[in-house]
Structure 1
Amino acid sequence: MNTKRLDLNLLATLEALLEEQNVTRAAERLHLSQPAVSAQLNRLRDMFNDPLLIPAQRGMTPTTMALELLTPLRLALDQVRDTVTTHQHFDPLSANLSVTLACTDYLQTVIGLSLIQTLRQQAPNIRIAIRNLEPSRLETQMVRGEVDLALMTPDEAPPLLRTRHLYDEHYVLVGRKDHPQLTGDMTLEDYTLLEHAVVSLSGGGFFTPVDQALQALGHSRNVVLSVPSFLFIPELVAQSHLVALVPWRLVEKRTDLKIVKAPIVATGFPVGMVWHERNHGHSAHRWIREQIGNVLAD
């Protein structure tokens, strides 16, 4: 192969084609027309003397050579991107870009308003898109540039992504302000007799790790309601006889709730940032990570 006339744009097209395995989607991602991407694919086939992508019933199937090329190609292009962006001066006041942040609804509530206010003041032309976290798809989303940064438990992140610990969250027991049985000196028996609401992220579950711990101690609690999100809980317990275990930062500023320490050890969880190597050296992304770190530290 004659590398003297190598076109890096062709390699970027090859990366998009191998990741999307569809000419139309690759064209949309590259902001090119479909005929232009098809023409570039023909040039790539000549360059590598291989079909690279073979038409299939749905999209295209990469050849063995194409699969072997994907990882080193991705690493090489990421290095080029980092080289171009690492030494660029970043001015928040004049920066104009969009950043996509993925996190759970709990973290959207905890960080959302503070982060938006910080960015509006310091970088008014940066746009933040917040989307729901999909852990099973996160690495693919970051490779494709669909997600730039995620807030989640770092231990649950795909191993090839970068992580940074932010803080450790803990659970508290909450109920309405005048709940007569909700006190700081409850016994374990008092706790189990309360009417509990629990969060089942998958939906419909009534048995959680807390119930598993209680079972090991020979106890069970009175779970009467299961909801799919922590965001339902504060309003539910504020207007009922229910109690619930929730992350402390979700309710720390609520004045209409009674907040006490549960009479059992409720496992907490760490919260951190997760990002792809391609964004690691980018000056704007570095700045945004620092702002998120500062907001959560405060």
Structure 2
Amino acid sequence: MLLRTLDLNLLKAFDALMDERNLTRAAERLSVTQPAVSATLNRLREALGDPLFVRTQRGMAPTPRALALGGPIKRILADIETVIQPTEFEPASAAFTVTVSATDYALRAVVMPFIAALRPQAPGVRVAVVQAHGNDLLERMERGELDLALITPQMSPPDLHSRTLFEERYVCVMRDGHPAAAADGLSLDVFCGLDHAMVSLMGGGFEGPTDDALARLGRQRRVMVSVPSFGMLLDLVRHTDLVALVPQRLLPGTAGLTVRPPPLEVAGFTKLLVWHARTHADPRQRWVRDQLVRACQADQGAGAEAP
């Protein structure tokens, strides 16, 4: 395409069609009519000498030429957006939405303290929390559906920017007044003799990192209940004689639970904040990321002082 014929709206329409693969959805995203998108597509086809998108039963399928152009055009649009954005950002008057992908654990341990810190500084910034789905994380960020994700290094696609938030470790919890809570420590024999509960994110699992650590010692425990969330797990332990190993950062602010160090070493995990190159230089997003990191650091300090 000759530079003199280049139209930013053509690039935006192409990007929307690449993401949506559907004329109607692309039109809705661009806030124009479907005939307008069709006319823009015809202009693109004429300029590039390629059909770019062909109709299928499921929508519009990109041609090899369109697939080759998809990444470069998205980067061009991101660069243009960065150039035309204001150089100064005022949190108190800002009004935009940041979308965060988080697990049940990350929601309680990261997002809640982040929102508490964010609200007084930027009351006009909205936070949309969505469920974590690691298999399409990169694609959702490229499409602009997602700004930030809270994941582990094992789940992080290699093309994303990242920052380590903290290293998490596990502790053993039981209800206040539990027979095993009377002792100052928890022996391995007592630990293995108790009935346990655990989180199984995929559902139905009865083994995890604790069982791997026990197996290396030639021991095993009795896992009697598995649940899909840590919130449910803490409530379950609080109201039964079941015990559980949970990430330590979930405990500040909870009541009715006795905490004991586990009688064996159980591997913890690293929590990352990741984002796409599309938003890397955005001053609004950069400020939001800084606030999230600071909230984690402040929460970690508070947790270190908790009994």
Normalised by the length of structure 1, the TM-score is 0.95
- C-alpha contact (below 8 Å) 1:98/1:129 kept by paired residues: yes
Counterpart residue number, 1:27: 27
Q: Distance in 2 between matches of 1:248 and 1:216?
A: 23
Counterpart residue number, 1:91: 90
Distance 1:202 1:155, change over 3 A: closer
- C-alpha contact (below 8 Å) 2:166/2:270 kept by paired residues: yes
Deviation at 1:70, TM superposition (A): 1.2
Counterpart residue number, 2:229: 229
How many pairs are equivalent? 297
Q: Distance in 2 between matches of 1:84 and 1:255?
A: 50
- C-alpha contact (below 8 Å) 1:152/1:271 kept by paired residues: yes
Q: Distance in 1 between matches of 2:252 and 2:98?
A: 28
- What is the letter of the counterpart of residue 51 of structure 1? P
Counterpart residue number, 1:295: 295
- C-alpha contact (below 8 Å) 1:154/1:163 kept by paired residues: no
Deviations along 1:59-91, one digit per CA (max 9) or x if unpaired, are 111111111111222222222222223x62100
After the TM superposition, which of the residue ranges 226-235 and 248-257 deviates more from structure 2? 248-257
Deviation at 1:111, TM superposition (A): 3.0
Deviation at 1:184, TM superposition (A): 4.5
5+ residue gaps, structure 1, are: none
After the TM superposition, which of the residue ranges 241-250 and 71-80 deviates more from structure 2? 71-80
- What is the letter of the counterpart of residue 98 of structure 2? V
Q: Distance in 1 between matches of 2:112 and 2:205?
A: 30
Which secondary structure does the structure 2 equivalent of 1:258 belong to?
strand
Counterpart residue number, 2:134: 135
Q: Distance in 2 between matches of 1:234 and 1:56?
A: 49
- C-alpha contact (below 8 Å) 2:186/2:261 kept by paired residues: no
Q: Distance in 2 between matches of 1:32 and 1:137?
A: 27
Counterpart residue number, 2:73: 73
Counterpart residue number, 1:102: 101
Q: Percent identity?
A: 44
- What is the letter of the counterpart of residue 171 of structure 1? Y
Counterpart residue number, 2:261: 261
Which secondary structure does the structure 1 equivalent of 2:91 belong to?
coil
Counterpart residue number, 1:154: 153
5+ residue gaps, structure 2, are: 299-307
Q: Distance in 1 between matches of 2:142 and 2:184?
A: 48
After the TM superposition, which of the residue ranges 148-157 and 257-266 deviates more from structure 2? 148-157
Deviation at 1:94, TM superposition (A): 1.2
Q: Aligned ranges for residues 197-212 of structure 1 at < 5 Å?
A: 197-212=197-212
Q: Distance in 2 between matches of 1:278 and 1:170?
A: 33
- C-alpha contact (below 8 Å) 1:169/1:269 kept by paired residues: yes
Deviations along 1:144-199, one digit per CA (max 9) or x if unpaired, are 11111111213421111110111111111000111122445322221111110011
Q: Distance in 1 between matches of 2:90 and 2:8?
A: 28
- C-alpha contact (below 8 Å) 1:81/1:278 kept by paired residues: no
Deviation at 1:249, TM superposition (A): 0.9
Q: Distance in 1 between matches of 2:276 and 2:14?
A: 20
Deviation at 1:4, TM superposition (A): 1.1
Distance 1:197 1:21, change over 3 A: same
Counterpart residue number, 2:122: 123
- What is the letter of the counterpart of residue 127 of structure 2? I
Normalised by the length of structure 2, the TM-score is 0.93
Distance 1:141 1:184, change over 3 A: farther
Q: Distance in 2 between matches of 1:15 and 1:126?
A: 26
Q: Distance in 2 between matches of 1:189 and 1:265?
A: 15
- C-alpha contact (below 8 Å) 2:186/2:260 kept by paired residues: no
Counterpart residue number, 1:11: 11
- C-alpha contact (below 8 Å) 2:197/2:242 kept by paired residues: yes
Counterpart residue number, 1:272: 272
Which secondary structure does the structure 1 equivalent of 2:196 belong to?
strand
- What is the letter of the counterpart of residue 285 of structure 2? H
Q: Distance in 1 between matches of 2:160 and 2:112?
A: 27
Aligned structure 1 segments of 4 or more residues deviating by more than 6 angstroms: none
Deviations along 1:111-132, one digit per CA (max 9) or x if unpaired, are 3443223222111111111111
Q: Distance in 2 between matches of 1:142 and 1:162?
A: 11
Distance 1:184 1:266, change over 3 A: farther
